[in-house]
Amino acid sequence: MSDLEIWEGVEIRKSSYRTKFVNGALMSSPIIMGEYLIYKLGKWVYERMAYGDKKEEEIPLSPFPIANPVVTHFHPVAFVEQMRRVFLKEDIDLRKRDKWQTQFDSKFGNKDKQNVACWRSCMIVLANHNVNGGNLVNGTALFQIATESNNKLVVDENIAKKSIEYIDEQLEADKPILVGVDHTYKYKGGFNNDLTTDHFIVLAGRSSDTQGSYYLFYEVGTSFERYGISNENKLYIQSDNSLRGSTAYTSKHKYTVTQVRKNN
């Protein structure tokens, strides 16, 4: 790492230096006289610090040579930009108030039936988005990500990874997608087709925050619209590629996506 010190005159911060960010720039004590990036007037500027009788000066940024097949140097700014393009996905939010459906609707029958009408409500949400999908294909889900076994939920990381690619593909095509979730081990004995899924929801957006990348979902298991389309209905991508999170209407249930259904 110390070899970097001879590259473009950058002075490496010693581990003993005290540092903090001021206006987007990393300040240190003692002061480092090298160049730094600072966000000014809506853009990132590469500057050399003012000291002595030298004034603060802007160093023009040179674009990354993407047209040149031979990359002759490493540019940290370009590297960060490229990583942002590769790993950060564009935010999507397909949710609309008038497309949400609660499962607690008399159209499904009495209260006992409404309690288990989540899949049917999700199908209505898909139909409201003009999406044809959500059904089992030959008795199975398109992606069976997790199954309950030996008192725990076992996630297949490879299937989970493929399912995220499929979810992204569908959301980018403006298609919400029906998924099954698990919240309790052997809930009511395990009764859906995979004997694992406890509830169904509809994924309808994606974004990220300080906790990581997440998917937004319609919650049909509440009669309150504000909870049904809440911004707090988030499922975060985990290190094993599974999607886990909470639903706004209750703190009792923590969801893990168990299966993803096919859109046609």
CB of 179 to other proteins, least distance (A): 13
Which one, 26 or 195, has the nearer CB to other proteins? 195
136 touches other proteins by CB under 8 A? yes
Burial of 71 by CB count in 10 Å (0-12 exposed, 13-18 middle, 19+ buried)? exposed
Site size for other proteins (CB under 8 A): 23
Joined together, the tokens standing for residue 114 give 């409404």
Which one, 94 or 123, has the nearer CB to other proteins? 123
- CB under 8 A: which stretch of 15-23, 27-35, 102-110, 249-257 binds other proteins? 102-110
Q: Which long-range contacts (CB under 8 A, 24 or more apart) does 234-240 make?
A: 235/203, 236/211, 236/212, 237/164, 237/212, 237/213, 240/155, 240/157, 240/160
**Residue showing tokens 């923590």:** 254
d(CA 74, CA 72) in angstroms, rounded, equals: 7
127 touches other proteins by CB under 8 A? no
151 touches other proteins by CB under 8 A? no
CB of 153 to other proteins, least distance (A): 17
CB of 183 to other proteins, least distance (A): 14
Q: Which residues contact 105 (CB under 8 A, 6 or more apart)?
A: 114, 117, 121
Contact string (CB under 8 A) for other proteins, positions 158-197, x = contact: ----------------------------x-xxxxxx-x--
Please give the residues from 230 up to 259 whose contact with other proteins meets the rule CB under 8 A: none
> What residues are paired with 147 via a beta bridge?
154
Which one, 115 or 231, has the nearer CB to other proteins? 115
Q: Which residues contact 104 (CB under 8 A, 6 or more apart)?
A: 111, 114, 117, 222, 223
264 touches other proteins by CB under 8 A? no
Furthest-apart CA atoms within the chain: distance in Å: 81
82 touches other proteins by CB under 8 A? no
Q: What is the 3-state secondary structure (H, E, C) of 28-55?
A: EECCCCCEEEEEECCEEEEEECCECCEC
Interface pick for other proteins out of 94, 117, 164, 229 (rule CB under 8 A): 117
129 touches other proteins by CB under 8 A? no
Binding site for other proteins (CB under 8 A): 106-109, 112-113, 115-120, 136, 139, 186, 188-193, 195, 200
